[in-house]
Amino acid sequence: MINSDDPQKPRLRVLLSAFACGPNKGSEHGVGWNVAIRLASYHDVTVLYGDVREGQSSHQAIDAWIAHHGPIPSLTFRYVPPTPRIVLWERLHRIPGFWFAYYRAYNLWQREALQVATSLHRCQAFDLTHMLTYVSFREPGYLWRLNIPFFWGPIGGTENVPLAFWPSLALSENGRAVSRDILNRLHVNLAIRSKRAARKARLVWGASREDLTLIQNKWAAQGAHLLETGTVPHYMVSPVQIDRHGLRMIWSGLHVARKALPLLLHAIHQLGDETDWTLTILGCGPCTHKWQQLAKNLRLNDSRIRWLGHLPHEQAVQELLKADVLVHTSVKEGSTTVLMEALSLGRPVICHDIGGMSYVIDSTCGFKVPLLSPKVSIGGFKSSISTLVSTPGMLGQLSRGASLKAKTLTWDNMVLVISDAYRSKLY
């Protein structure tokens, strides 16, 4: 982590909107937390964060962390609790077919955050505001209405799943994956408030090429590329090599349709018995039972596949260390926390050529599979696994490349880019 800043550079008063923010978590919460704690090395940061359901889990997690580790200098957390109306909309989203109600709950929370921000700004006059999490182009929040310099991003989510995947996605989670994709295509063209916020912003960061196209071409706003996640390299990790256990693969993620684990199951089924491999599967979700049944239907050897469910972070890291390669089959994703964690541990990655992963993964640290159709994806994952198994020394070479890649994509580097942008756009 960054320890100090150049005393010649001015410290700014930053109001950071990070709805999802919490220690020892991945995904959106990890983005909010890792950016916030590092920004405090450069500026005086106040973070607005919260929940849309009762229980205040984020509040409790941050309070517990501060009680154990002590407060972070120049960093203030301000919890914005959900109102009864927000809680009601969040509960509605759990009803099958009403998943979209969550976005209403989240929008209402953003309105509450604006009221808190307005009150704080009257008392302590911030130099700028920054909308950070959720990392999505759909919801810009309302801090841009404070009439002080506004920054937004990184944003993501503009990429759409090819139509060839829709039949398989439509059968999962009451059609949620497909209906979300349809709304996504509409929202890109109809998101008037997002467009207004982007044009008001001094800078909007995009996590993928498609995000930048939206920012610069459709919104006519100032844009720049920035991944939404970072690495924490483990410098003592040794490169991996295939041993007598064969190729040890790991897959990790929420068990939902867009994560597309069946693509990997079909790929290893096509490899046949002559290829020596094992697969560890982390996570759980609504598709778990169906995916386990698919593995049985494909007659994949139970002794080769371990279903470990959701593990605490440290245990998940240990499973990554036991593996040789992370296989990430998601058909709609950014750069993802687990992918960056794998690189940090010197583990190569096989993934689709989409989103932030297009920037992160190259021939030095893994394989990218074109996202065109299920048939092409299955063939691409099969080919990548076969190449690793049949090419002596390749796994070790890619493992060293993963470690080198991780050193260029750290959270510290990411936050330095953000801090420098603040100053360059204000002075």
Q: What's the rounded Cα separation, in Å, for the pair 218 and 212?
A: 9
Handedness of CA 216, 221, 223, 228 (dihedral sign): negative
Q: If you average pLDDT over residues 81-97, what whole number do you get?
A: 91
Would the pLDDT of 388 be above 50?
A: yes
Question: How big is the CA angle at 105 (ends 102 and 111), to the nearest 5 degrees?
Answer: 145
Would the pLDDT of 4 be above 80?
A: no
Q: If you average pLDDT over residues 73-87, what whole number do you get?
A: 96
Helix axes 374-390, 394-408, angle to 10 degrees: 110
What's the mean pLDDT when you consider all of the chain?
A: 90
Question: How much of the chain is in helix, strand and coil states, percent to nearest 5?
Answer: 50, 15, 35
Q: What's the rounded Cα separation, in Å, for the pair 130 and 144?
A: 8
Would the pLDDT of 246 be above 70?
A: yes
Asked if 13-156+191-230+410-426 and 247-408 have one fold, the answer is yes
Domain ranges of the chain: 13-156+191-230+410-426, 247-408
**Confidence label for 335 from pLDDT (cuts 50, 70 and 90):** low
Report the CATH number of the 13-156+191-230+410-426 domain: 3.40.50.2000
What is the model's pLDDT at position 186? 76
Are the C-beta atoms of 256 and 236 separated by less than 8 Å? no
Would the pLDDT of 126 be above 90?
A: yes
What is the model's pLDDT at position 174? 55
How do beta strands 13-18 and 128-133 pair? parallel
Instruction: Collapse the DSSP code of 402 into the 3-class scheme (helix H, G, I; strand E, B; otherwise coil) and give the result.
Output: helix
Kindly indicate whether the domain formed by 247-408 is annotated with CATH number 3.40.50.2000: yes
Share of the chain above pLDDT 90, in %: 71
What is the model's pLDDT at position 2? 47
**Confidence label for 149 from pLDDT (cuts 50, 70 and 90):** very high
Q: If you average pLDDT over residues 282-306, what whole number do you get?
A: 92
19 Cβ contact list (under 8 Å, min separation 6): 28, 32, 48, 49, 50, 106, 109, 110, 113, 133, 134
Side-chain half-sphere of 117: how many Cα atoms within 13 Å? 32
Which amino acid type is present at position 110?
Q
The more confident residue out of 53 and 251 is 251
Instruction: Give the global pTM.
Output: 0.88
Of the listed ranges 121-135, 206-220, 328-342, the one predicted with least confidence: 328-342
**Confidence label for 375 from pLDDT (cuts 50, 70 and 90):** very high
